[in-house]
Amino acid sequence: MDIQHILRRLPHRYPFLLVDRVLEFEKDVRIKALKNVTMNEPFFAGHFPARPVMPGVLMLEAMAQAAALLSFESMDAEPGDDTVVYFVGIDGARFKRPVGPGDQLILDAAIDRVKSGIYRYKARASVDGQTAVEAELMCTMRKVA
């Protein structure tokens, strides 16, 4: 899935679109995507100038965007401007290694459970096969006015 397809599925735009490509997709099961981390990222100017590190909250957001792609693609739905995916919970988030310019962040998300409109995913982001962050993410889709 290339960037044009991703843009049709996610409402996020620069500088907050954090998925560049989908590498693997298994409907209703899992997704594998990537985020190319470059020195041009706006957050590196202040986090941290002497040792640029991708903020952990943005790594979690990148995993959530991959999870949202999994859900939208599984439903074969192109959300309109009135549909968003909201976080409703993050459990067990663990940060294992820093991510910086030049890294390629691989985002893995798998549907763990769907109940009452709440999706729970097991998610992991890695660089060169090493886990950078892992967490259970809970999200829901809502129509907004």
Told to judge if 47 belongs to the known catalytic residues of this protein, a careful annotator would answer yes
13 in helix, strand or coil? Answer: coil
Give pLDDT tens digits along the chain (145 positions): 999 999 988 989 999 999 999 999 999 999 999 999 999 999 999 999 899 999 999 999 999 999 999 998 998 777 777 778 889 999 999 999 999 999 999 999 999 999 998 999 999 999 999 999 999 999 998 888 7
Distance CA 145, CA 45 (A): 35
- In the structure, how many helices (H) and strands (E) does the chain have? 2, 6
Give me the domains of the chain, ranges plus CATH numbers. Answer: 3-143 (3.10.129.10)
Given the residues 47, 55, 83, 141, select the one marked as catalytic.
47
Distance CA 43, CA 51 (A): 12
Would you say 109 and 125 are in contact if contact means Cβ atoms under 8 Å apart?
A: no
